């Protein structure tokens, strides 16, 4: 068994609680489906947001999911880098799996697709 990282990022158009929670849940759902993972295999989830998103903790969208109550979650704010993509939520999920690192399917949604176009795995 290996511990692998799966990255995800998405954006919202408003700094509103429901927008942040909905976007976080959509991104997580896409990561879980694409990678066929179950909560019992998740070691931890690190969530970051850009400084312009402070209406809620994105982890709230994860905490209420069935089976995710024992997954350690960490939220933090990114440093305010000039020219950074605004209103961005990012996830780094650490998962126990037998899959190789190149088999992990990273997910970039909405405007966050511009962050890693080289991965070729994105959604709108």
Active-site residue set: 7, 63, 75, 78, 90, 108, 116
CA distance 76 to 50: 9
CA 35 vs CA 55, 93, 107: distances in Å: 29, 11, 10
CA distance 32 to 91: 12
């Amino acid at each position: 068994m290996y511990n692998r990282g799966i990255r995800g990022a998405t954006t919202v158009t408003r700094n509103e609680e429901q927008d942040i929670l909905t976007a976080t849940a959509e991104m997580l759902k896409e990561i879980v489906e694409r990678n066929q993972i179950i909560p019992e295999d998740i070691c931890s989830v690190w969530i970051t947001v850009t400084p312009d998103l402070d209406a809620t903790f994105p982890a709230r969208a994860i905490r209420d999911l069935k089976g995710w109550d024992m997954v350690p979650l960490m939220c933090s704010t990114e440093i305010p880098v000039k020219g950074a993509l605004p209103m961005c939520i990012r996830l780094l999920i650490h998962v126990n799996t037998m899959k190789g690192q190149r088999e992990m399917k990273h997910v970039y949604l909405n405007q966050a697709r511009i962050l890693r176009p080289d991965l070729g795995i994105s959604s709108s």
